[in-house]
Amino acid sequence: LAALAAYAWPGPCACCGADLPGRAVAGVCPACWAALPLRIGPGCPVCDLPGATLATCPDCRTAGGSAPLETIVTALLYTGAAVTLHRRMKFGGASDLVPPLARRMASAWRLRGPFEPDLVVPVPPDPLRWTARRRAGRLLARGVTRQLGVPLVRALAKTRPTRSQTGRAAEQRRRALDGAFRARREAVEGRAVLVVDDVVTTGATLREAARALAAAGAAPIAGLALARTPTGSTT
């Protein structure tokens, strides 16, 4: 019904404000979808920071490398229309954005992912901050599983609440997340796991999730996210 209503009374594009044509997707015009900033070009092989290497990446260098996280693949740069769509999905409840965004994530993984995953595991929400916005990673993970044709398993749990990571430096993020996840061994042992989150700033969340999964016997382990902030922990 929402799709039919949007076709009959399209309204303005959620990104640029222009009148929507009938072929708009999830309230966004084709021009804005086409203008999304793709995450392409060289970058850190672990956290996907644009223009960095493992030796020069400020976040991976201080974090001591990648193990057991093999790599993180991101679909978009977190700037411009990508920020608008992410916030609309996460804070505005626009779940109709999940399928087209998940398609872009799956395409990025098919292009750059180093292995075929057995499972997709979402980063779990904080147990004391369960709100609609905390479901963003899980919704995207569900969309990715449909695109890649592998099962979604909620194999990770938060062992304790953590403060919001927004605005915190890389070292603060690492300390806050140290030991914050637990994985179910029976779900992941001996399996290739793809961990899904929405936005990567330093890679701290996915690194800590990978440590918990590795402790439960998963291997190999990689991360997939919708977007990467262009400047890492300085953002």
Angle at alpha carbon of residue 82, lines to 44 and 94, rounded to 5°: 130
Judge contact between 219 and 195, C-beta under 8 A. no
Asked whether the predicted pLDDT for residue 92 surpasses 50, the reply is yes
38-42, 81-85, 168-172, 207-211: which has the minimum mean pLDDT? 168-172
Q: What is the spatial distance between Cα 141 and Cα 122, in angstroms, rounded to a whole number?
A: 6
DSSP letters for 8-67: HS--B-TTT-PBPPTT-BTTB-HHHHHTS-B--S-B-TTT--BT--TTT-HHHHHHT--T
> Tens digit of pLDDT for each residue in 164-215?
555 555 555 555 566 678 999 999 999 999 999 999 998 888 999 999 999 9
Q: What secondary structure letter does DSSP report for 166?
A: T
Q: How many Å from the N-terminal Cα to the C-terminal Cα in the chain?
A: 39
Judge whether residue 8 has pLDDT over 80. Answer: no
pLDDT of residue 234: 46
Strand partners, 38: 76
Judged against a pLDDT cut of 90, whether residue 73 lies above it is answered with yes
C-beta of residue 78 within 8 angstroms of C-beta of residue 86: yes
At 94 the pLDDT is 87
> Which pair of structure tokens corresponds to residue 132?
């609609």
Rounded to whole angstroms, how far apart are CA atoms 99 and 140?
8
Among 13-27, 46-60, 133-147, 205-219, whose mean pLDDT is lowest?
Answer: 13-27
Q: What is the pLDDT of residue 235?
A: 38
CA distances in angstroms from 88 to 28, 82, 136, 205, listed in the order given: 11, 10, 11, 22
% pLDDT > 70, the chain: 79
pLDDT value of position 200: 93
Q: Which of these, 209, 151, 149, lies nearest to 184 by C-alpha position?
A: 209
Q: Which has the minimum average pLDDT: 45-54, 131-140, 191-200?
A: 131-140
Give the angle 164-168-174 at the CA atoms, nearest 5°: 85
pLDDT tens across 51-62, in order?
999 889 888 877
State the pTM of this model: 0.87
* Of the candidate ranges 10-14, 90-94, 215-219, the one whose mean pLDDT is the lowest: 10-14
Instruction: Check: CB of residue 188 under 8 Å from CB of residue 194.
Output: no
Q: pLDDT grade, residue 46 (50/70/90)?
A: very high
